[in-house]
């Protein structure tokens, strides 16, 4: 299963190529301006080759001579660099991002964060988690008192975070996050999912109406993600088509692995119990409410 590390890794591979191309172009331009330096660098390389050949041939004299010439050119190069104020590391490939040195991360251990330069990798991971429609939602525009209900929002955020951290448990790892329409349930969930992914864990977001159309890779994520959010959950939809059995399978798989699943719904637990597919109602009975 792909965590954000996978997407960062892809980005880093591409960046290694970009960096080399950029560096080669830089050196070419640099040599055009400093032909003397190019001549010396070429000479150093050629004497290194001569020396190696001499070693292989067992020719001690030739080996010594190559070494001497090389040292002499190196000395001239040093003087040239000093005289022209050229830093001695001009040959080094410099990182494209100097904040993370192209590793993709800043900070260590618990403080480790994805570097800003990896925005694209982040977006890809969010997309893969099912958040393709929520590109504008992020922790920066998170409003604590959305709908003038600061206390509730804080309570929900804290609870969801604890569930993710496995500091809260329920009998079958199922949770019902129920609240009225337009109370920002999706928003709170999406912000948390993005944080979870940013930490290198996996989360998945699906709308319940799409449960029958999951691709194979999405199904794997839905079954194995560290946290699964099922949004717009409704009792009536559990009895439509194969929805009930698909959901039942997912819940059994996840419960077996002790992975939390969170239903997001406008319906009350009583409604869900009364009107859901009987297998699903049997599980909702033991779920915890948020
Ligand atoms: Zn960076």
Separation of 100 CA from ligand 1 center, angstroms?
4
Separation of 114 CA from ligand 1 center, angstroms?
8
Contact residues for 55 (Cβ-Cβ < 8 A; gap 6+): 63
Q: Is the dihedral of CA 206, 209, 210, 213 positive or negative?
A: positive
Looking from the CA of 91 toward its CB, the CA atoms found within 13 Å total 6
Separation of 11 CA from ligand 1 center, angstroms?
11
Ramachandran sector of residue 240 (left: φ over 0; alpha: ψ -120 to 50; beta: rest): beta
Crossing angle, helix 119-126 and helix 4-33, to 10 degrees?
160
Separation of 288 CA from ligand 1 center, angstroms?
41
Contact residues for 155 (Cβ-Cβ < 8 A; gap 6+): none
Separation of 95 CA from ligand 1 center, angstroms?
9
Q: Residue 165: exposed, middle, or buried by beta-carbon count in 10 A (0-12, 13-18, 19+)?
A: exposed
Separation of 166 CA from ligand 1 center, angstroms?
31
Separation of 119 CA from ligand 1 center, angstroms?
9
Separation of 189 CA from ligand 1 center, angstroms?
27
Secondary element (H or E) of residue 207:
strand 203-207
Separation of 248 CA from ligand 1 center, angstroms?
42
- Low-confidence stretches of the chain (pLDDT < 50) are none
If one counts every other C-beta atom within 10 angstroms of the C-beta of residue 120, the result is 13
Ramachandran sector of residue 174 (left: φ over 0; alpha: ψ -120 to 50; beta: rest): beta
Q: Scanning the structure block, which residue is given the tokens 């500091």?
A: 167
pLDDT recorded at residue 225: 95
Q: Is the dihedral of CA 136, 139, 144, 149 positive or negative?
A: positive
Ramachandran sector of residue 104 (left: φ over 0; alpha: ψ -120 to 50; beta: rest): left
Separation of 88 CA from ligand 1 center, angstroms?
25
How far CA 225 is from CA of 1, 125, 170, 207, in Å, comes to: 8, 13, 17, 15
Separation of 98 CA from ligand 1 center, angstroms?
6
Report the distance separating Cα 132 and Cα 22, nearest Å. Answer: 32
Report the distance separating Cα 141 and Cα 157, nearest Å. Answer: 15
pLDDT recorded at residue 197: 92
Report the distance separating Cα 246 and Cα 230, nearest Å. Answer: 13
* The two structure tokens encoding residue 283: 């599980």
Q: Identify the CA nearest to 206 among candidates 186, 176, 180.
A: 186
Q: Scanning the structure block, which residue is given the tokens 């960046």?
A: 15
């Amino acid at each position: 299963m792909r965590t954000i590390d996978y997407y960062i890794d892809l980005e880093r591979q591409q960046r290694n190529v970009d960096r080399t191309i950029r560096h080669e172009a830089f050196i070419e331009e640099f040599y055009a301006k400093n032909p003397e330096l190019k001549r010396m660098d070429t000479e150093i390389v050629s004497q290194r080759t001569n020396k190696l050949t001499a070693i292989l041939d067992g020719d001690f004299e030739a080996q010594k001579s190559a070494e001497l010439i090389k040292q002499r050119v190196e000395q001239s190069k040093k003087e040239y660099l000093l005289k022209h104020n050229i830093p001695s590391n001009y040959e080094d490939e410099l990182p494209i991002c100097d904040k993370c040195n192209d590793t993709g991360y800043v900070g260590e251990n618990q403080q480790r964060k994805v570097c800003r330069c990896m925005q694209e990798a982040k977006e890809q991971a969010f997309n893969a988690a099912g958040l393709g429609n929520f590109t504008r939602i992020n922790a920066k525009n998170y409003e604590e008192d959305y709908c003038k209900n600061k206390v509730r929002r804080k309570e929900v955020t804290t609870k969801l975070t604890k569930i993710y951290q496995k500091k809260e448990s329920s009998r079958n790892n199922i949770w019902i996050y129920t609240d009225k329409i337009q109370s920002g349930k999706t928003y709170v969930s999406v912000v948390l999912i993005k944080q979870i992914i940013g930490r290198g864990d996996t989360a998945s977001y699906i709308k319940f109406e799409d449960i029958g159309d999951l691709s194979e890779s999405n199904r794997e994520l839905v079954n194995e993600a560290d946290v699964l959010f099922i949004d717009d959950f409704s009792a009536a939809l559990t009895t439509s088509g194969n929805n009930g059995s698909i959901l039942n399978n997912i819940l059994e798989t996840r419960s077996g692995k002790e992975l939390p699943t969170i239903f997001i719904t406008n319906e009350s637990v009583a409604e869900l119990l009364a009107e859901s597919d009987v297998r699903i109602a049997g599980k909702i009975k033991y779920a915890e409410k948020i």
